[in-house]
Copies of this chain bind each other. A is one copy, B any other.
Amino acid sequence: MSYGIFGKFTTTAGQQEKLVELLLEAAASLEDEPSCLHYIVSVSDEADTVIVHEIWTSQASHKASLELPATRRLIEQARPLITGMERLLTFDPQGGKGL
């Protein structure tokens, strides 16, 4: 069906908001990317972390997106804020509301 990823970024102290901003920019840069169905940026109860969950038409389309100029630029900008990255889950959406 499609390819979903749930990941968590850990930031340097106090940089959660800045990273949320950058990742929302990344989401905006994907607005016209048809293979990206969802790119949602969230926070949780855990301080200095940012949650991103994405749904792509395929694993290949996700991988290719990492080479897009806008994505590469934002990754470079975000790198100094990030101390850790953890993939919580990959999942295969079967359907539902909002997809």
- What is the interface of chain A, defined by CB distance below 8 A to chain B? 4, 6, 20, 23-24, 27-28, 30-31, 36-45, 51-53, 55, 88-99
**Interchain CA distance A92-B51 in the complex, whole Å:** 9
Give the secondary structure class of A's interface: strand
Contact among B24, B31, B90 for A44, CB-based, below 8 A: B90
B93 touches A40 (CB 8 A): yes
For the complex of A and B, the 10 pairs showing the least CB-CB separation, nearest first, are A38-B98, A27-B96, A40-B96, A42-B91, A39-B97, A42-B93, A27-B97, A41-B96, A44-B91, A51-B91
User: How many copies of this protein are present in the complex?
Assistant: 2
**Interchain CA distance A24-B94 in the complex, whole Å:** 8
**Interchain CA distance A10-B55 in the complex, whole Å:** 22
CB distance from A3 to the nearest CB of B (A): 10
Note all chain B residues with C-beta closer than 8 A to A4.
42
Chain B residue with the shortest CB-CB distance to A38: B98
